[in-house]
């Protein structure tokens, strides 16, 4: 009797030790690079931190400064612009394109490879490509505009248009990626739903709106949240496409762009840390709201 | 009757798909066309579509101005090491979270999930300071290390492990197999799709990443392709035929790999997405 009990707890102990051992590499790595970093970032936000020298404690000064900082609000406003329009366009276009790609036509694979290419291309290349294409004098976009009778636009240097230029590139590259996700979702829909609807006399448009979309809502929710979190952190394209010393910079600056400038150009790292924390809180609030709203429009398959 | 069906149903679909394809691929064709023109041809007004003669010399110029071979090696090396290290570390942890019982398991997992929600900018300044303190700025190690500990990877692999029936483990345990053997010989092979998915996601993310590489490695010879391309803009804003040549050099290999392995790529990305 005793032997059995002893054997059981020894095995349980061995299992526990093994468990800790197996998660150890991950935990150590996380502790060093993530957990410690997380708390140190909070610590920095209450200090004045330069490129060199020791941090100086200044309490809530950084946070108070954020509230009075016009650049912060500009960055916030721009970022919300990108997010609201970006997510909307990305979801709408990716659903439409995925739906078209889902049709049984010949050469499907070829079309897919073409449409997915931006998704696997590095933003650095995309950024410099579009910077060239949106060039005021020599860019092909303005050439096409002129050909169809419109005026050329100084996309990347004029205050009114620069946000739309960034949005264009952003949507263009993200749609390519989310088409993959939406298409996978569509292919997971049970064909019997379509059969049943067709028997009831549904045409292609009704099939799309009454069958495809409702059954796709979980994937749409996931894509909405993921794309939203991604766009709220937009940095690459703005960094690559907009010159810092033009007026357009101010009108296109995102929160992370501002963060980067504070931390690594101006070396105001304590302030930057505070900005990053505020950004983090904003992202979390928006995400929680989205997750809460999901019960109003997402259908889950039983 | 058949032609009518074609015209009404199939043709519009083809037209739409061609339109979408042109929108997505067109810019890359323009990138290539620009790269084979002379400087004068690129700035000609109205826009000249095709060069008179193909200027491969642009590629030579850019190749000599920028250490593309080094950039490629760096990117390739960082990606490879990150993938191998991450798959090992992450799958081992995922196995433990899925199959082994230890005190605090659920709390630790939940804390990890919470940490996963935190946006990357939170970590950048402290990580950079850490790299400075450890004196490993401007090294490939600095690029590799933070990328190994991917919480989403643990989450995804745990899902995969949990989908395998526990009877398999139990049978092996009765046969006297140790936990590591079960993990290595039995469960890991069964979760290959998950590993492939994760590998592809890591490859894409490492390839695409910009902010961390430009912050932590300032020397041209330790940069990744993305960071190097960003430098291309700073120094050569006017000679776009060279800039585009650099861009083509950077994106072409990935496009070719993708064209060959597109099935795996798409399946990998979709799987990672749908598991979320």
Beta carbons of A125 and B240 less than 8 Å apart:
no
User: For residue B211, what is the nearest residue in chain A, using CA coordinates?
Assistant: A236
Helix axes B192-208, B140-148, angle to 10 degrees: 140
Q: How many other β-carbons are positioned within 10 Å of the β-carbon of residue A86?
A: 22
A118 → closest Cβ in B24, B108, B215: B24
Q: How confident is the model at residue A25, as a pLDDT?
A: 94
Specify burial of residue B14 (Cβ count, 10 A radius: 0-12, 13-18, 19+): middle
CATH class for the domain made up of B66-235: mainly alpha
Q: How confident is the model at residue A85, as a pLDDT?
A: 96
Q: What's A13-45 look like in SS3? A: HHHHHHHHHHHHHHHHHHHHHHHHHHHHHHHHH
B207 → closest Cβ in A19, A26, A122: A122
- Does A108 map to a domain? yes
Looking at the structure, tell me whether residues A36 and A178 fall in a common domain: no
Shortest Cα distance from B138 to chain A (angstroms)? 15
Report whether B58 contacts B36 (CB < 8 A): yes
Q: How confident is the model at residue A274, as a pLDDT?
A: 94
- Does A254 map to a domain? yes
B122 → closest Cβ in A132, A176, A280: A280
Beta carbons of B119 and A44 less than 8 Å apart:
no
Looking at the structure, tell me whether residues A18 and A162 fall in a common domain: no
User: For residue A127, what is the nearest residue in chain B, using CA coordinates?
Assistant: B230
A23 → closest Cβ in B31, B42, B93: B93
Looking at the structure, tell me whether residues A193 and A81 fall in a common domain: yes
Shortest Cα distance from B270 to chain A (angstroms)? 5
Whether ipTM > 0.90 holds is: no
Name which of A17, A128, A147, A277 to mutate to probe chain B: the one with the most chain B Cβ atoms within 10 A of its Cβ.
A128
Looking at the structure, tell me whether residues A73 and A40 fall in a common domain: no
Q: In this structure, what CATH number is given to the domain that contains residue A137?
A: 1.10.3720.10
Would you write out chain A's pLDDT as a tens digit for each of its 302 residues? 455 555 678 878 888 888 899 999 999 999 999 999 999 999 999 998 887 778 888 888 899 999 999 999 999 999 999 999 999 999 999 999 999 998 888 888 899 999 999 999 999 999 999 999 998 888 888 888 888 888 888 888 888 889 999 999 999 999 999 999 999 988 888 888 888 888 888 777 788 888 888 888 888 988 999 999 999 999 999 999 988 878 888 889 999 999 999 999 998 999 999 999 999 999 999 988 888 887 777 776 54
Mean pLDDT, chain B, whole residue set: 87
- Does A51 map to a domain? no
Domain range list for chain B: 2-55, 66-235
Shortest Cα distance from A160 to chain B (angstroms)? 23
Total structural domains within chain A: 2
Q: How confident is the model at residue A302, as a pLDDT?
A: 41
Q: Is residue B272 pLDDT above 80, yes or no? A: no
Q: How confident is the model at residue B175, as a pLDDT?
A: 82
Within 8 A of B23 by CB-CB distance, chain A residues are 172
Q: Give B40 or B87, the one with higher predicted confidence.
A: B87
Q: Give A281 or B49, the one with higher predicted confidence.
A: A281
Chain centroid to Cα A204, Å, comes to 32
Q: Is residue B234 pLDDT above 80, yes or no? A: no
Q: Which residues contact B264 (CB under 8 A, 6 or more apart)?
A: B196, B200
Q: pLDDT digits over B55-72, tens only?
A: 888 888 888 888 888 899
**Structural domain of A269:** 69-296
Looking at the structure, tell me whether residues A170 and A21 fall in a common domain: no
Looking at the structure, tell me whether residues A31 and A81 fall in a common domain: no
From B48, B133, B20, B166, select the one nearest A37 (Cα to Cα). B133
3-state secondary structure of A56: strand
d(CA A66, CA B161): 45
Within 8 A of B47 by CB-CB distance, chain A residues are 138, 140, 143
Which residues pair with residue A47 across a beta bridge?
Answer: A57
Which band of pLDDT confidence, cut at 50, 70 and 90, is reported for residue B276? low
Beta carbons of B232 and A25 less than 8 Å apart:
no
Q: How many other β-carbons are positioned within 10 Å of the β-carbon of residue B268?
A: 23
Which residues pair with residue A56 across a beta bridge?
Answer: A48
Q: How confident is the model at residue A111, as a pLDDT?
A: 92
Residue with tokens 């490129």: A51
A38 → closest Cβ in B43, B122, B240: B122
């Amino acid at each position: 009797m005793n032997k059995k009990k002893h054997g059981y707890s020894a095995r349980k102990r061995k299992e526990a030790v093994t468990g800790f051992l197996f998660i150890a590499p991950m935990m150590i790595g996380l502790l060093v690079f993530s957990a410690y970093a997380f708390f140190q970032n909070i610590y920095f936000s209450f200090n004045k931190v330069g490129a060199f020298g020791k941090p100086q404690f200044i309490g809530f000064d950084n946070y108070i400064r954020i509230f009075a900082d016009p650049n912060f609000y500009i960055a916030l406003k721009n970022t919300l612009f990108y997010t609201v329009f970006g997510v909307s366009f990305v979801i709408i276009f990716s659903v439409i394109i995925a739906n078209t790609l889902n049709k049984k036509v010949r050469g499907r694979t070829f079309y897919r490879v073409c449409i997915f290419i931006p998704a696997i291309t590095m933003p650095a290349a995309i950024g410099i490509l579009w910077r060239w294409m949106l060039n005021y004098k020599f860019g092909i976009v303005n050439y096409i505009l002129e050909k169809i009778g419109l005026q050329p636009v100084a996309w990347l240097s004029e205050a009114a248009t620069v946000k739309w230029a960034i949005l264009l590139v952003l949507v263009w590259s993200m749609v390519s990626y989310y088409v993959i996700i939406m298409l996978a979702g569509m292919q997971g829909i049970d064909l019997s739903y379509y059969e049943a609807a067709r028997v009831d006399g549904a045409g292609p448009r009704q099939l799309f709106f009454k069958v495809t979309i409702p059954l796709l809502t979980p994937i749409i929710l996931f894509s909405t949240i993921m794309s939203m979190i991604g766009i709220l952190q937009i940095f690459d394209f703005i960094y690559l496409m907009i010159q810092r010393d033009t007026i357009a910079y101010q009108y296109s600056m995102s929160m992370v762009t501002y963060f980067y400038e504070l931390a690594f150009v101006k070396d105001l790292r304590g302030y930057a840390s505070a900005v990053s924390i505020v950004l983090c809180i904003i992202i979390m609030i928006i995400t929680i709201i989205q997750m809460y709203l999901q019960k109003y429009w997402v259908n889950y398959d039983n | 009757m058949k032609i009518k069906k074609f015209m009404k149903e199939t043709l519009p679909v083809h037209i739409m798909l061609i339109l979408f394809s042109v929108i997505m691929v067109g810019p890359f064709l323009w990138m290539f066309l620009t790269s084979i023109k002379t400087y004068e041809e690129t700035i000609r007004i109205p826009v000249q579509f095709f060069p008179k003669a193909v200027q491969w010399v642009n590629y030579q110029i850019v190749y000599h101005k920028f250490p593309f071979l080094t950039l490629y090696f760096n990117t390739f090396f960082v990606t490879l090491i990150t993938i191998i290290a991450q798959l090992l570390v992450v799958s081992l942890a995922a196995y433990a979270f899925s199959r082994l019982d230890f005190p605090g398991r659920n709390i630790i997992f939940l804390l990890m999930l919470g940490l996963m929600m935190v946006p990357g900018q939170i970590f950048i300044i402290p990580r950079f300071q850490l790299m400075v303190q450890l004196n490993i700025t401007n090294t490939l190690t600095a690029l590799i290390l933070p990328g190994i500990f991917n919480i989403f990877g643990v989450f995804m692999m745990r899902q995969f492990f949990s989908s395998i029936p526990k009877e398999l483990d139990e049978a092996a345990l009765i046969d006297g197999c140790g936990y590591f053997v079960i993990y290595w010989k039995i469960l890991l092979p069964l979760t290959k799709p998950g590993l492939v998915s994760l590998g592809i996601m890591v490859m894409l993310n490492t390839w695409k990443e910009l902010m961390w590489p430009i912050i932590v490695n300032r020397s041209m010879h330790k940069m990744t392709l993305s960071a190097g391309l960003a430098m291309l803009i700073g120094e050569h804003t006017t000679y776009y035929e060279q800039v585009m040549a650099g861009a083509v050099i950077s994106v072409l290999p990935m496009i070719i790999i993708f064209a060959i392995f597109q099935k795996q790529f798409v399946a990998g990305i979709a799987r990672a997405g749908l598991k979320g």
